[in-house]
Amino acid sequence: MPTASQGIESQASNGSGLDTFTSVTCPFCGLHCDDLEVRNSSGADAGHLTIARNGCERAARGFERRPPPSSPQIGGRDTDLATALATAARLIGGARLPLYGGLGTDVEGVRAIMALADRSGGVVDHHLSAAIQRNMGVLQTQGWIMSTLTETRNRADLVIVVASDLMTLHPRFFERIVAPAEAMFGGVPSDRTVVLVGDCGHADAITRTGVKHVVEIPSANDDIPVVLGVLRSMLKGTQLPARDDQRVPFNELADLALRCKRAEYGVFVWAPQALAFRDGDLAVQIVTDIVRDINKTTRFAGLSLGGNDGAASAASVCSWQSGYPLRVSFASGAPDYDPYRYDIRRMLEAGEGDLLVWTASFDPEAAPPATGLPLIALATPGMRFSREPDVLIPVGTPGLDHSGRLVRCDSVVSLPLRQLRPSRLASVTEIANAIAASL
Ligand code: SF4
């Protein structure tokens, strides 16, 4: 049975009642910046964290949130943890097809939930799997040439952002990767240029991060596949008929094609979560095609910035443990991969499954979809549900309430997370393991 977390190891104490932690990894988006300085108050405000250096608004919302007091509940009534665990184990043990959704947790948490799903013949799916699938379909069918955050920071002279508001989804991407104070191999190229294709948020906000050259190519998101198709044709030298087409900015695309040909290391960047428009997966495919074409004459790569809410960790762990990417069922006794069939939202709408087990340890907004099925929620305190879960077990946030590990969005490194405050909240790992032990 999980116990209250043990004490924390403070890196520094400045004698003012504040514990200060340096080089803190942020768990609140897939970049996992590891340069934050975070303070933990003491006395009456003990446990309240504030960001002293670096960070961003998104990180502040996560670190500085004051979670309300919480207790395990059954049907909306407070209970003790042992009773909640026993009830959850009974529901899972009696289910024929439990659905394990959300999956907003760290590497160890996903491992524990997957072990539970394996044991109980369930289905696992992250709540951002639709975004993952926009990439995965392309990777599986034709492969791709990808960069990493580090390689982009050190080498890129042209960064083309495709229909993604990165200042909202990954706020420090431009500050840390495109306009860093320093980079290897002679520093940041002085002519490093960012081209924004489609709806990428406000260019002013990007300029304020230190990016010197920003070019905008406006386009409606639904037209992005067409716009990228025209760019690809231009790069291949196809003679396009002269057209007066409001949807396609021909002149700007001709200029971009020229920039691409002249670039020494170009990178197409997108956040798959942002490509939730018609044929968003086609946009990923065309970008991948362009990158492959252009590598015949110069160096180009893609860079996908996903991984929010632990999605990169969930995708990696699912691959390590089952041999397949996300959306896997263990109902047959062996892992069965099907990204359409095991979409838990689709399954709920189709009346499939008989129990929903929802995990959300980072974001109180990441609530489960409305369902008439029995619901077990392992959730960060403060989450609002469309109805009371049958069993609610509050859990700590990795990197704040307990230590852990998260895979970065470029999937080449995992970052360690530290416990920053004493916490009575157990981790998803502890809860899932305790339930499994009672099955
Ligand atoms: S950009 Fe992402 S990882 Fe970096 S501080 Fe902001 S929320 Fe955290």
Write the pLDDT tens digit of every residue in 191-208: 899 999 999 998 999 999
Q: What is the pLDDT of residue 184?
A: 81
Mean pLDDT of 252-281: 96
Lowest-confidence segment of 21-30, 142-151, 236-245, 269-278 by average pLDDT? 236-245
Q: State if residue 39 touches ligand 1 by the CB under 6 angstroms criterion.
A: no
Q: Which atom of ligand 1 is nearest to the CA of 173?
A: 1
User: 231: Cβ–Cβ under 8 A, 6 or more apart, which residues?
Assistant: 253, 256, 257, 290
Residue entry with tokens 């920003």: 214
pLDDT band at 15 (very low <50, low <70, confident <90, very high): very low
Residue 357 CA, chain-centre distance (Å), reads: 20
**What count of Cα atoms within 13 Å lies in the side-chain half-sphere of residue 360?**
23
CA–CA distance from 55 to each of 31, 88, 102 (Å)? 11, 37, 25
Mean pLDDT of 126-137: 95
What CA–CA distance (Å, rounded) separates 5 from 419? 9
Q: What is the pLDDT of residue 10?
A: 38
Q: State if residue 33 touches ligand 1 by the CB under 6 angstroms criterion.
A: yes
What are residue 321's phi and psi, to 5 degrees?
-85, -35
Amino acid at 354: D
Q: Which atom of ligand 1 is nearest to the CA of 55?
A: 5
Distance 173 CA to ligand 1 centre (A): 8
Helices (H), 143-272: 149-155, 166-169, 173, 203-207, 224-236, 250-262
Q: Whose CA is nearest to atom 3 of ligand 1?
A: 32
Question: Ligand 1 pocket check: which of 23, 24, 26 to mutate, most ligand atoms within 8 Å of Cβ?
Answer: 26
Stronger pLDDT, 27 or 248, i.e. the higher one: 27
Cα torsion 258, 259, 263, 269: sign? negative
Stronger pLDDT, 92 or 183, i.e. the higher one: 92
The pLDDT of residue 13 is above 80: no
Q: State if residue 214 touches ligand 1 by the CB under 6 angstroms criterion.
A: no
Q: Whose CA is nearest to atom 2 of ligand 1?
A: 29
Adjacent-strand bridge partners of 49: 40
**Structural domains present in the chain:** 12-63 (no CATH), 73-128+309-438 (3.40.50.740), 149-292 (3.40.228.10)
What CA–CA distance (Å, rounded) separates 85 from 72? 9
Q: State if residue 194 touches ligand 1 by the CB under 6 angstroms criterion.
A: no
Contacts 24+ apart (CB under 8 A), 35-42: 36/63, 38/63, 38/420, 40/8, 40/10, 40/420, 40/421, 41/17, 42/17, 42/18
Q: What is the per-residue DSSP string for 130-165? A: HHHHHHHHHHHHH---B--HHHHHHH-SEEEEES--
Distance 399 CA to ligand 1 centre (A): 13
User: 419: Cβ–Cβ under 8 A, 6 or more apart, which residues?
Assistant: 5, 8, 9, 400, 401, 402, 403
Q: Which atom of ligand 1 is nearest to the CA of 59?
A: 7
Distance 55 CA to ligand 1 centre (A): 6
The pLDDT of residue 412 is above 50: yes
Q: Which atom of ligand 1 is nearest to the CA of 29?
A: 2
Q: What is the per-residue DSSP string for 209-223? A: TT--EEEEE---GGG
The pLDDT of residue 292 is above 90: yes
Q: Give the rounded percent of residues in the chain with a pLDDT score beyond 90.
A: 87
What CA–CA distance (Å, rounded) separates 167 from 91? 42
What CA–CA distance (Å, rounded) separates 261 from 299? 10
Q: State if residue 56 touches ligand 1 by the CB under 6 angstroms criterion.
A: yes
Q: What is the pLDDT of residue 86?
A: 98
